[in-house]
Homo-oligomer: A and B are copies of this chain.
């Protein structure tokens, strides 16, 4: 059965239509369906880093996986961008739709705990090097009391990284996997991962290669790349945790967002 709860993740790319997402959330709220909204904000991070003169780097793992280099200066920008800009913008948009929304990060009431990645490997000039000061982490737990209390009031938690690491300082975590972990922890009925691309792509450079039904297997799918790999991983984690309905949907259009949020059985 499940709780009737929907967890929605809207991406950090500029393309995802915040207005469509908020309209969809508002509709669920009007129907008295509980919702948690999880968000990233990579476009805001990039913009703010530029204005603050903080260079953004990447880590290229030996297997080719590219991730954001989160040195302490970047973590500060990430926190400013998510908590101080992307989240207030979403709260304003939700307020316009009459949704009582509450902005949260993993630092609130122990919500998101993570293990800091204390030794990352990156390839520089063909050499593999260990990076020890990165402030990115892997989610280890979701504390549910605050989320339950807000949902009981009919409010919509609006949640983003950072999370709290064992050393008492923040770490960035992947927002898709936050959404999956929250859906699992709250026994959600549905997880919707909105992207700036049309559904699950086999080739992210070719939107025509959309696969209508993606079978979540037990290994990484080499035909799925880029940010979509993370979404597939997050989707698998949620499915394995018992979330019955996991959707990866195009967040760029009002109707695809509405479809993805609609018709919960």
Determine how close the nearest CB of chain B comes to the CB of A170; give it in whole angstroms.
7
- Cβ-defined contact, A88 with B79, below 8 A: yes
* Complex contacts, A87 vs chain B, CB 8 Å: 83
Residue in B52, B92, B107 whose CB lies within 8 Å of A51: B52
Determine how close the nearest CB of chain B comes to the CB of A232; give it in whole angstroms.
31
Copies of this chain, complex-wide, total 2
Size range of the chain A interface in the assembly? 35 or more
CA distance A105 to B91 in the complex (A): 10
Residue in B84, B88, B95 whose CB lies within 8 Å of A85: B84
- Cβ-defined contact, B91 with A85, below 8 A: no
* Complex contacts, A51 vs chain B, CB 8 Å: 52-53
CA distance A153 to B88 in the complex (A): 24
Asked whether any CB of chain B lies closer than 8 Å to the CB of A4, the reply is: no
Asked whether any CB of chain B lies closer than 8 Å to the CB of A180, the reply is: no
Asked whether any CB of chain B lies closer than 8 Å to the CB of A38, the reply is: no
The interface stretch among A5-13, A96-104, A118-126, A239-247 is: A96-104
CA distance A28 to B76 in the complex (A): 30
Residue in B76, B92, B110, B169 whose CB lies within 8 Å of A107: B92
CA distance A92 to B163 in the complex (A): 11
22 contacts between A and B (CB under 8 A): A51-B52, A52-B52, A76-B85, A79-B84, A79-B88, A80-B84, A83-B88, A83-B103, A84-B85, A88-B107, A91-B108, A92-B170, A96-B168, A100-B109, A101-B108, A101-B109, A102-B108, A102-B146, A145-B153, A149-B149, A149-B150, A149-B153
Q: What are the nearest 9 A-B pairs in CB distance?
A: A84-B84, A80-B84, A100-B109, A91-B107, A83-B84, A102-B108, A149-B153, A80-B80, A102-B109
Additional A-B contact list (20), CB under 8 Å, known A83-B83, A91-B107, A149-B150: A51-B52, A51-B53, A79-B84, A79-B88, A80-B80, A80-B85, A81-B84, A83-B84, A83-B87, A88-B107, A91-B108, A92-B164, A92-B169, A95-B107, A101-B109, A102-B109, A103-B104, A103-B107, A146-B150, A149-B155
